[in-house]
Amino acid sequence: MNSNQFEGTVKDAAGKVQDAVGGLTGDAELQAEGKVRQLAGKAQAKYGDSVDQVAETTRNNPIGALLVAVGVGFLLGKLI
């Protein structure tokens, strides 16, 4: 688990608590902030999952990753 996955999971949990507290107290603004925090946490955790997946794919197929990097560099060079 990388730092983005961990922090995203923590933000999601904190957002759930904040959403629940807002619901119990009738504070719609607090509840909305909780929902936004949940979404941000889930997005950050998904980003961490993607980073791990790219790293694993690169470790399993370094030549393919190198060819992709060369292709991207070539295309960026042509655009510039």
pTM: 0.76
Measured distance CA(45)–CA(5) in Å, rounded: 4
Task: State mean pLDDT over 33-56.
Answer: 96
- Using the predicted structure, report yes or no on whether residue 78 has a pLDDT greater than 90: yes
Query: What value, to the nearest 5°, has the Cα angle with vertex 78 and ends 72 and 79?
Result: 90
- Average pLDDT, integer, range 15-29: 96
pLDDT the model gives residue 1: 84
Average pLDDT over residues 12-40: 97
Could you state, in order of their start, the residue ranges of all structural domains in the chain? Answer: 3-79
Q: What percent of the chain has a predicted confidence (pLDDT) above 70?
A: 100
